[in-house]
């Protein structure tokens, strides 16, 4: 058994030697790979498109009701939270499909938990939206 000298042992943060062949070589390539992933989610995940439709409606309603900048920021944050959950859910599902395509109760549970995270994020976004939009809608209805 040979003992490695300090120069032969890679540093803990030295990942360049083990980087995946598809790892981005520069910032633009990295952004292109990331956009490809986001595009894939919207092209292949019906729920992501549903979330996008609700996001567009929320922003249009926000502009129509003349929400404050802080209110629009909160709506934007809620929308981003849902999209992040949806993207992570899709990534987890695709990874698990690589591991086992057969029916597997443990994999099903993990997929259910990831989907549950999307549900929690969407419910939180709906509550945030209700808290922000309801006073404006009530005011608009009472004004007429």
Which domains can be identified in the chain, with CATH numbers? 48-144 (1.10.287.3610)
pLDDT at 136: 93
Q: What is the pTM of this model?
A: 0.77
- Tens of each residue's pLDDT in the chain, 144 residues: 555 555 555 555 544 555 566 666 788 888 898 899 999 999 999 999 999 999 999 999 999 999 999 999 999 999 999 999 999 999 999 999 999 989 999 999 999 999 999 999 999 999 999 999 999 999 988 886
DSSP string, 21-70: TTS-SSHHHHHHHHHHHHHHHHHH-HHHHHHHHHHHHHHHHHHHTT--HH
């Amino acid at each position: 058994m040979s003992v490695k000298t300090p120069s032969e042992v890679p540093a803990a943060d030295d990942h360049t030697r083990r980087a995946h062949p598809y790892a981005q070589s520069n910032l633009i390539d990295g952004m292109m790979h990331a956009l490809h992933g986001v595009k894939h989610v919207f092209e292949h995940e019906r729920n992501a498109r549903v979330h996008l439709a609700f996001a567009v409606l929320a922003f249009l309603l926000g502009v129509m009701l003349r929400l404050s900048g802080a209110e629009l920021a909160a709506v934007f944050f809620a929308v981003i939270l849902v999209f992040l959950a949806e993207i992570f859910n899709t990534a987890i599902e695709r990874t698990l499909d690589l591991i086992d395509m057969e029916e597997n109760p443990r994999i099903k549970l993990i997929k259910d938990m990831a989907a549950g995270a999307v549900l929690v994020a969407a419910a939180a976004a709906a509550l945030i939206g209700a808290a922000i939009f309801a006073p404006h809608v009530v005011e608009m209805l009472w004004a007429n």
